[in-house]
Amino acid sequence: MKRAMTTLVLAGVILGGLAARATDPAALKERNETQAQRDARMQWFRDAKLGMFIHWGTYAVAAGEWDGKEVGNCGEWIQCWRKVPAAEYAKLAAQFNPVKYNAEQWVRAAKDAGMKYVVITTKHHEGFAMFKTAASPYNIVNATPYKRDPLKEFVAACRKHGMRLGFYYSQNLDWHHPGGGGGEWDPAHKGDPDAYVSKIVIPQVREILSNYGPVDVLWWDIPGGAINKPRADAIHKMVLGLQPKIIMNNRLGGGYQGDTETPERTIPANGFPGRDWETCMTMNETWGFKKNDHSWKSSSTLIRQLADCASMGGNYLLNVGPTAEGEIPVPSLERMTAIGKWMKVNGAAVYGTSANPFPRKPAWGRVTQKGEMLYLFVFDLPANRRLVLPGLKNKIKGAWLLADSAKAQLAVASGETAAVTVPEGAALDPYATVVAVQLDGKPEVDPAPMTVIAQGADGLLALKAEDVVIRGETAKLENDHIGFWTNAGDSVAWTCSITKPGEYKVVIEYASETKSAGAGFEIAVGDAKVSDKTVSTGSWQKFSTATVGTVKIGKAGKTTVSVRALSKPGDGVMNLRSVTLKPVAAM
């Protein structure tokens, strides 16, 4: 029954993964639109894939320190971490004078990084408005020596460079204005939430949606708290009256789904099938500037996260936290330059694409699709250099490295062993190599493929855990190996296509804790069988290889390689990462 359930669930995930964006009717009702109208409104966002998030406020003056002491966690929360009363915290504004701010430079940096939209904080939880507002004197024009509205220049630069514009607004948390969410550490902050919404939120949101022209994204944050249903209704209604096409995320509150899911600093394993979504990500560990946060993610990590999001039909909103002087930190700019260089060559594999058509992410990387093209992002090229495309029903018409303007054709196989082979000596990109694959039509994929593993040109047959079929109750794929193999009756099997009959050495890669060592197992290659017992590798996470014996494969064609337990002295049989058949002699 469990097995059947597993299949059912898998099928469910597969179908969910492949589902078109059939929006929840409630979400359509929120905007009083049809699916077609929503699709038209969301198309630029779906095509854009990559944006820049900007967290900028007086917290940049603090820069992660208060009273000379480093404050942990995100820099834009420093007032909360140190429970600073509003009146004391507001003194930062008098030190906020971003004389090095250059909106043109910021937008150019985003554009050169391949970013298609930017979302900038207009008011974060500190309650400080980064724009001229009549609702409160606590704003950059009235409360700082800078006296200018940086949003005006920023918006002008976005218009000049064709950059879509988004405003972030903290509608609930506001640690300055009485009645705002949070701020309970400051008795002076106590107030009426209705007054806060009507005197601060409504007027300020009206200002940012009226005074800067068309706004493409409104990025709410922290739903709930001060924003109950009636207040959310009033805000939502006003926004649509001012900017009817605007995209809003799922964080307004009041039960509004919004247009986009917003995982932050994480990438959901399967995306959000059927929903638009965007992962927002810090380059280090903070949204707002912290002078001592040097834990920067590598450019490779950031590019692969972008590919991961795009491969699941999502966007990647990458954050910068400018300094109080108005500069984007150099490490952020360095990463944006690297991303831009990579996007210049590989952007076609990202922009305007949709999710991977295959039911699972390949172990070697990610996949996107666009029209009759597949784009294979190779993070870790398999030893046999084959990029298997399980269940692909199309004929592959051609394949080439996207970076190769000459489009030198790569070896391809269609049918049950559909794959593209990356030749020795191919120029690989250290961040991610993209292979373009031209099909004979839009991708068609078997939603529950039986992966057929082919031999490499050298005859090697590399059978990896992610391509195995599991028969049993407990064993399951766990990252790059089969784990939880606690039921001796479970077994695993691969379907292989043999093109080179001959004698082969059978090599297994497994891990076993000491007290489970000694488990007997048998590997069957067609009718030929070899067996052995496990030895301790030290832990379930420490893998080693062992040659189990040699087998003869007498004829070409499809054959099954399986592994089953013969005995189980301890908790588990083994953690199995791979079985490899290495040619000894041709027949």
| Distance of alpha carbon 47 from alpha carbon 49, whole angstroms | 6
The residue among 53 and 138 lying less far from ligand FHN, judged by its C-beta, is 53
Of residues 77-106, which lie at the interface with ligand FHN (CB under 6 A)? Answer: 77
For CA atoms 351, 357, 360, 366, give the dihedral sign.
negative
- By the rule CB under 6 A, 480 interacts with ligand FHN: no
Binding residues among 190-229 for ligand FHN as defined by CB under 6 A: 221-222
Amino acid at 387: L
If the CB atoms of residues 131 and 287 are measured against ligand FHN, the closer one turns out to be 287
| DSSP helix/strand/coil, 166 | strand
Q: How far is the C-alpha of 96 from the C-alpha of 473, rounded, in Å?
A: 62
Residue 266 CB, nearest approach to ligand FHN (Å): 11
CB-nearer residue toward ligand FHN: 281 or 388: 281
Least distance from ligand FHN to the Cβ atom of residue 313, Å: 20
Separation of alpha carbons 475 and 490, rounded Å: 7
- Segment contacting ligand FHN (CB under 6 A): 70-78, 144-152, 547-555, 558-566? 70-78
CB of 220 to ligand FHN, least distance (A): 10
Answer yes or no whether residue 74 interacts with ligand FHN by CB under 6 A: yes
CB 84 within 8 A of CB 313: no
Torsion angles phi and psi, residue 268, rounded to 5: -60, 140
264 binds ligand FHN (CB under 6 A): yes
First and final C-alpha spacing in the chain: 43
Going from the C-alpha of 489 to that of each of 464, 472, 568, 574, the distances in angstroms are 21, 7, 10, 13
CB of 168: closest distance to ligand FHN in angstroms? Answer: 7
**In whole angstroms, how close is the CB of 50 to ligand FHN at the nearest point?**
16
Q: Which is nearer to ligand FHN, 272 or 377 (CB)?
A: 272
Q: Which is nearer to ligand FHN, 282 or 512 (CB)?
A: 282
In what helix (H) or strand (E) does residue 339 lie, and over which residues does it extend? helix 330-346
Longest dimension (CA), the chain: 87
Q: Which candidate, 144, 148, 157, 164, places its Cα nearest to that of 60?
A: 144
Q: Which amino acid is at 153?
A: E
For ligand FHN, give the closer residue by CB, 282 or 580.
282
- Only one of the segments 69-77, 82-90, 92-100, 424-432 lies at the binding site for ligand FHN (rule: CB under 6 A); that segment is 69-77
HSE-up (13 A, CA, CB side) for residue 526: 19
The verdict on 76 binding ligand FHN (CB under 6 A) reads: yes
Give the nearer residue to ligand FHN in terms of CB position, either 278 or 308. 278
Amino acid at 499: T
Q: How far is CA 205 from CA 57, 148, 510, in A?
A: 17, 19, 58
> Minimum Å distance from CB 307 to ligand FHN?
21
CB atoms within 10 A of CB 476: 14
223 secondary structure, DSSP code: -
Nearer to ligand FHN, 56 or 77 (CB): 77
User: Cβ closer to ligand FHN: 225 or 502?
Assistant: 225
Shortest Å distance, C-beta 17 to ligand FHN: 25
Q: Per CB under 6 A, does 131 bind ligand FHN?
A: no
Nearer Cβ to ligand FHN (279/394): 279
Order across the sheet with 386-388: list the strands.
386-388, 419-421, 411-413
Q: Interacting stretch for ligand FHN, rule CB under 6 A, among 40-48, 71-79, 339-347, 483-491?
A: 71-79
In the complex, the smallest distance separating the C-beta of residue 283 from ligand FHN, rounded to whole angstroms, is 13
Q: 């297994």: which residue's tokens?
A: 508
Q: Residue 554, Cα to own-chain centre: how many angstroms?
A: 46
Structure tokens given for 102? 């250059």
Please tell me the number of Cα atoms within 13 Å of 143 on its side-chain side: 22
Choose the stretch contacting ligand FHN; rule: CB under 6 A; options: 73-81, 130-138, 186-194, 390-398: 73-81
Does residue number 280 form part of the binding site for ligand FHN (CB under 6 A)?
yes
The reply to whether 327 sits near ligand FHN by the rule CB under 6 A is no
**# binding residues, ligand FHN (CB under 6 A):** 8
Least CB distance to ligand FHN at residue 47 (A):
22
**Residues 287-316, mask of contacts with ligand FHN (x by CB under 6 A):** x-----------------------------
Q: Pseudo-torsion of CA 67, 70, 75, 80, nearest 10°?
A: -50
Question: Which residues sit at the interface with ligand FHN, rule CB under 6 A?
Answer: 74, 76-77, 221-222, 264, 280, 287
